[in-house]
């Protein structure tokens, strides 16, 4: 049985000519305008009449908008990116109604990412040269890595970041992505601030703290920005310097996470990670900067899509698992433990490094989930979904009868497996 060919995006930097830059800026503005207009219409229809307007209706509205004098400038750019932004809005509403995302928000000229998506009918790719609609010459792309042999991009996305850099992303099939050879290794991953990753094997990888390393440079650039007059050219240049520092931090962080996650996926068949409430953690002003710099959610996303590419399994363990306070040897649960306690001794005599012990418990819970195909949650009075918890006697009986709850027969785990 052959695996499906993976579609992936190849992102490159390019340097547009003044004419190309002007055309793309116009396209970005029109895309943003159409998105906001369609969002306003759909929101108003729902708030007034409880009516859902879909993509087909907004596409017909776009045709009508182009015929008005006020929005006639929409005809000056390619129609494909305008249609694509309506499809993106439809996908955003689909995710919202399914409970997977928040309600779509209006795009801002300064805060939103400037981008436009072209399908195959709006670009030409031949012999390594990419030409977009409404342009008479190909883009000057810096080919930092080759596309797969015989690649035929299905979509092209052009974007510009806050630092003024232009990027083009080509989505195409990559036959070179194949599952890695199956291994019997599994690893638990505990994410932290001082040590970005602690593995159940005992290995600890320090947090590079990219933002802290550039904090002085960032603070200086931000001070210069605050001194500039709003709306002036000096303020725009100062804002560009701030954006470039942020871009440097983000690039280095992303590069480090790519190397780390690729290594974990390559070496392990099963990877167990903890589901962390990052959105709640960043509300703590003492932890917000460090949590944002650690980029736990980005690391988990990389693990998940790389595992899907290469035939690995990522298991996410419930965030309420008391992984740090649960003895990975005897299963005893210790009482409350402050964050400054890094090493503790269990009543069975085992001495635990806090992070390594947490990673081992995460691994055991992940193996239980993988074996039983169920969600795992620690014992507590009641569940967050409103269901009453199983009594302690029933839990103990289930633990005796189910090898999954005993960590696969090796490391006991004090957990409840949900149906």
What pLDDT does residue 374 have?
53
Residue-wise pLDDT tens digits, 342-351: 898 888 888 8
Give the mean pLDDT of 223-247.
Answer: 95
- What angle in degrees, to the nearest 10, is found between the helix axes of 215-227 and 233-267? 160
User: Where residue 107 falls among pLDDT bands split at 50, 70, 90?
Assistant: very high
Give every CB contact of residue 332 below 8 A, 6+ residues apart in sequence: 326, 346, 347, 348
Q: Residue 339: which of 280, 414, 278, 286 has the closest Cα? A: 286
Q: Give dist(CA 268, CA 263) in Å, integer.
A: 9
Give the mean pLDDT of 90-105.
Answer: 93
Give every CB contact of residue 368 below 8 A, 6+ residues apart in sequence: 376, 404, 405, 407, 408, 413, 415, 417
What pLDDT does residue 408 have?
38
Extended beta strands in 192-275, E state: 195-199, 204-206, 270-274
Average pLDDT for the chain: 86
Q: Indicate which residues carry an active-site annotation.
A: 190, 274, 355
User: Where residue 416 falls among pLDDT bands split at 50, 70, 90?
Assistant: very low
What pLDDT does residue 372 have?
74
- Average the pLDDT over each of 70-84, 195-209, 289-303, 367-381 and give the range with the smallest value: 367-381
What pLDDT does residue 394 have?
38
This prediction has a pTM of: 0.82
Q: Give dist(CA 184, CA 312) in Å, integer.
A: 11
User: Where residue 3 falls among pLDDT bands split at 50, 70, 90?
Assistant: low
Residue-wise pLDDT tens digits, 141-179: 999 999 998 889 999 999 999 999 999 999 999 988 999
What pLDDT does residue 385 have?
40
Q: Give dist(CA 85, CA 190) in Å, integer.
A: 39
Q: Give dist(CA 299, CA 313) in Å, integer.
A: 15
What pLDDT does residue 371 have?
77
Residue 409 has pLDDT above 50, yes or no: no
What pLDDT does residue 393 have?
39
Residue 399 has pLDDT above 70, yes or no: no
Q: Give dist(CA 70, CA 153) in Å, integer.
A: 35
């Amino acid at each position: 049985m052959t695996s499906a060919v993976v579609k992936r995006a190849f992102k490159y930097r390019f340097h547009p000519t003044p004419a190309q830059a002007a055309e793309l800026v116009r396209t970005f503005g029109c895309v943003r305008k159409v998105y906001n207009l369609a969002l306003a219409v759909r929101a108003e229809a729902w708030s007034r009449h409880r009516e859902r307007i879909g993509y087909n209706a907004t596409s017909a509205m776009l045709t009508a908008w182009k015929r008005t004098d006020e929005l006639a400038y929409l005809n000056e750019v390619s129609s494909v990116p305008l249609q694509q932004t309506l499809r993106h809005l439809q996908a955003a509403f689909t995710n919202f109604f399914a409970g997977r995302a928040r309600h779509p928000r209006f795009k801002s000229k300064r805060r939103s990412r400037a981008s436009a998506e072209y399908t195959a009918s709006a670009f030409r790719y031949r012999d390594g040269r990419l030409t977009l609609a409404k342009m008479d010459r190909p883009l000057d792309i810096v080919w930092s890595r080759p596309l797969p042999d015989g690649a035929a991009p299905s979509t092209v996305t052009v974007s510009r970041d806050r630092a003024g850099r232009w990027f083009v992303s080509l989505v195409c099939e990559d036959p070179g992505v194949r599952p890695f050879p199956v291994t019997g290794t599994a690893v638990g991953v505990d994410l932290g601030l001082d040590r970005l990753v602690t593995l159940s094997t005992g290995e600890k990888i320090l947090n590079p703290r990219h933002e802290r390393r550039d904090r002085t440079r960032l603070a200086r650039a931000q001070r210069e920005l605050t001194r500039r007059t709003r709306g002036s050219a000096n303020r725009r240049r100062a804002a560009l310097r701030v954006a470039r520092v942020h871009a440097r931090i983000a690039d280095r962080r992303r590069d480090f996470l790519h190397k780390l996650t690729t290594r974990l996926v390559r070496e392990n068949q099963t990877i167990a990670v903890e589901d962390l409430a990052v959105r709640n953690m960043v509300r703590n002003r003492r932890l917000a900067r460090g949590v944002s710099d650690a980029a736990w959610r980005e690391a988990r996303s990389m693990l998940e899509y790389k595992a899907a590419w290469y035939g690995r399994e990522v298991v996410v363990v419930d965030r309420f698992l008391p992984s740090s306070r649960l003895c990975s040897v005897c299963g005893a649960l210790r009482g409350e433990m402050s964050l400054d306690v890094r090493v503790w001794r269990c009543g069975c005599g085992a001495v635990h490094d806090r992070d390594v012990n947490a990673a081992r418990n995460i691994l055991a819970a992940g193996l239980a989930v993988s074996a039983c195909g169920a969600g795992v949650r620690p014992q507590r009075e009641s569940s967050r979904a409103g269901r009453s918890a199983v009594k302690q006697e029933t839990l103990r009986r289930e633990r005796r009868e189910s090898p999954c709850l005993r960590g696969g027969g090796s490391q006991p785990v004090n957990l409840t497996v949900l149906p």
